[in-house]
Structure 1
Amino acid sequence: MQKRQILSTRPPAAARGAPAAGRAPVFDACQVGVVLRAVLLVQLLLGVAAMFGTDSFEGWLAQLALLTGGALPATLAWLLAACAARPVLARLAEPLQYAAGALLGALAGLGACALLAPVLDGAAPWLASTASGALIATLLVAVLALRARARLPAATTARLTELQARIRPHFLFNTLNSAIALVRDEPARAEALLEDLSDLFRQALVEQGEAVTLDEEVELARKYLAIEQVRFGERMRVQWQLDARAGNALVPPLLLQPLVENAVRHGVEPDEQGLAKLRISTALRGSQVRIGITNTLPRRAAGTPAPAGHGIAQANVRERLRLLHDIECDFRASAHKGLYHVRITLPLRA
């Protein structure tokens, strides 16, 4: 057994010795959802601008097609440049990041004007294109910055919710009672149980970033299930099907534990006469990681409805996944033939 400092709430040595995180970028242009929204926003602005040059629908379409021929490549170039420069932008102060985004937008505007110059009847509007590019880029940066700031309250709410779930009196009392029952006959198991409980509390209290690896989340879920296994014994069978290639995927902190806890509370705990089963799986499929949590539903008398949960944990997980991976992730939960399935799909980001 590991020797641990009594009543210590400090993080592990690796976490204490880790350097402080650098300044976060104000905006992130590296996500597919961001690219789609940026292109749609620019197209919307072009559609409005094209209305000023014609009174007919056919003329509007022709004008929009002309503007799109220059603006679309320029928008994609801005997004690629902003994504490639993300590590550099993260080291700049916030006003300088806005300025860098506007500067890249001005250059993109010049590029768009250069593309359209050969087909324009009059003189190319170099100054107007530069100013328009800078203005649209500043608008995009502002929108992306607001979205990035939206992660903070969600993460704070998630931390409070999971901390409260972890220190629920009945969970704490059940764990301590299990340790007391083991301490005389199986002191090694009692010590391991208390170590897992200590790790769970430490994980809830240690300051974390906006993302951790899937491997870290799996390890935390293992500790939680090890505690509950002592209480339920043969009533709960846990099966792990883990793909090592998926372990580097980035997920929000405290993602798996509340979902596994839901499976125990609604699938294992109420089933006093049956044998509850719980399966946690991860798999890499192309560039996507799939996470599955499946539990058996308790047997009930005919006509007896299953108690409905509040759905707080699932809503919390779904929202944090959306903030981290945007439209690249998917969360689904459903019951089918006596089993409850939770399926998560997200991109692999090493």
Structure 2
Amino acid sequence: MDDSHILSAFTELTPDARASRARPRAMPRPVFDACHVGVVLRAVLWVEAVVVVGAMFAANGWHEWLLQAALASAVALPATVLWLLAACACKGYLSLLRPGLQHVAGILLGALAGLAGGGLRALVVPGATVPWFASACAGALLAAALVAALVLRAKGRMPAETAARLSELQARIRPHFLFNTLNSAIALVREDPARAELVLEDLSDLFRHALADQGEAVTLEKEVAIARAYLEIEQVRFGDRLQVEWSIDPQADKAKVPPLLLQPLVENAVKHGVEPSATGAQVKVTTQRRNGIVVIKVTNTVPAGQGSPGHGIAQGNVRERLRLLHDVQAQFRTALKDGIYQVRMEVPA
């Protein structure tokens, strides 16, 4: 199925239930993470806003305010970027510290960045008196605010509500799907025992992966395996009505994605593409690494006259968890054009 022509039609559609358990030998994790494009953008904009407002207190007019704001920005923004780079580069080392010490380390890095900003001021304005102590204190204060914001962001990446939605999504492998699969296996026991065994193995693998405590992220390779197991089971049910095509880029396999990313999307493709059509439908799953991103597409044909399928509950869940995991680096778009419906996602490689 050639789905390349659909790219120009993309429009955005707006339409652990279990208590967490202690994980043995859990890998240390930083309490804040500055290694995100969205974090960098927000930090720079916030510091710039503070600088612009602060310059108002030392200015007597518009011209003096612009001059003071420009001078302060020339010092504060490089210092901010320096702090972000240092916090990102030291993330692995910071994760080895206790949470409280990580906070202190982030603030100390801010003080050092403030001193670096003071040194930059001495270069920009030769002969000017540099308030070194004030620069260190300002850097520490701004860093403390950034650390607090990043800690709150980290805590909000997988809140209880989102975990509950993941549990709900795991439960969406519906009972009637289980019954249909078991009935298909029973029908195959006599005429094709080997295939019946494969169906039950696929069902076992699907439930083992989908109902496990997945955590925050899994590899795209694992998600493709779950989607394969699901579609192979549905292939038994629909036969020739379900035509599946895979285009998997091995270089994209290690990309991090939320658990149960693909299964609900291919389920939607079957439900809204194959089930309503007497002649069946085509379903295509594509992954491709392009420079620093991985593009994931789930495409299916739809019966003539059918509009945008479903209520978008599963898609909304996937979109939200992508945003929580990758922030502005993740993209989720859908399109329906010429009888082809596509979900297109982008994640960091």
TM-score by length of 1: 0.89
**Residue identity matched to 2:112:** L
- Which position in structure 2 is the counterpart of 1:20? 25
- Is residue 2:132 matched to residue 1:126? yes
**Residue identity matched to 1:96:** L
- Is residue 2:103 matched to residue 1:103? no
Comparing 179-188 and 334-343, the one that deviates more: 179-188
Q: Percent identity?
A: 57
Q: CA deviation at 1:122?
A: 5.3
* Structure 1: unaligned runs, 5 residues or longer: 1-17
Question: Contact 1:22/1:90 (CA < 8 Å) preserved in 2?
Answer: no
Question: Contact 1:274/1:299 (CA < 8 Å) preserved in 2?
Answer: no
Cα distance in 2 between the residues matched to 1:316 and 1:159: 8
Cα distance in 2 between the residues matched to 1:180 and 1:39: 62
2:287 to 276, 279, 282: 282
- Is residue 2:318 matched to residue 1:312? no
Q: CA deviation at 1:289?
A: 1.1
Could you report, residue by residue, the CA deviation over 1:131-158 in whole angstroms, capped at 9, with x for unpaired residues?
1111111111111111111122265134
**Residue identity matched to 2:287:** T
Could you report, residue by residue, the CA deviation over 1:11-41 in whole angstroms, capped at 9, with x for unpaired residues?
xxxxxxx963223211111111111111001
Question: Contact 1:215/1:248 (CA < 8 Å) preserved in 2?
Answer: yes
Could you report, residue by residue, the CA deviation over 1:203-253 in whole angstroms, capped at 9, with x for unpaired residues?
123222311111111111000101111100000000001111111111111
Q: Which has the higher contact order (CA 8 A, sep 6+)?
A: 2
Question: Contact 2:210/2:226 (CA < 8 Å) preserved in 1?
Answer: no
- Is residue 2:182 matched to residue 1:181? no
Could you report, residue by residue, the CA deviation over 1:145-202 in whole angstroms, capped at 9, with x for unpaired residues?
1111112226513421222201x22111111111111112111111111111111221
Question: Contact 1:270/1:298 (CA < 8 Å) preserved in 2?
Answer: yes
2:198 to 189, 192, 195: 192
Cα distance in 1 between the residues matched to 2:195 and 2:165: 31
Cα distance in 1 between the residues matched to 2:42 and 2:308: 40
1:160 to 148, 154, 167: 167
The 5 A counterparts of 1:1-350 are: 20-118=25-123, 119=125, 123-153=129-159, 155-166=162-173, 168-271=174-277, 273-300=278-305, 306=307, 308-348=309-349
Question: Contact 1:213/1:250 (CA < 8 Å) preserved in 2?
Answer: yes
Q: CA deviation at 1:307?
A: 7.6
Could you report, residue by residue, the CA deviation over 1:280-312 in whole angstroms, capped at 9, with x for unpaired residues?
111122222111111010235xxxx64851211
**Residue identity matched to 2:94:** L
Residues 1:91 and 1:296: Cα distance change in structure 2 (over 3 Å):
same
Cα distance in 1 between the residues matched to 2:295 and 2:132: 48
* Structure 2: unaligned runs, 5 residues or longer: 1-22
Comparing 87-96 and 35-44, the one that deviates more: 87-96
Cα distance in 2 between the residues matched to 1:32 and 1:152: 19
Could you report, residue by residue, the CA deviation over 1:86-143 in whole angstroms, capped at 9, with x for unpaired residues?
1111121111111111010010011111111351775321111111111111111111
Cα distance in 1 between the residues matched to 2:264 and 2:211: 16
**Residue identity matched to 2:328:** I
TM-score by length of 2: 0.89
Corresponding residue SS for 1:179 = helix
CA RMSD of aligned residues (A): 1.7
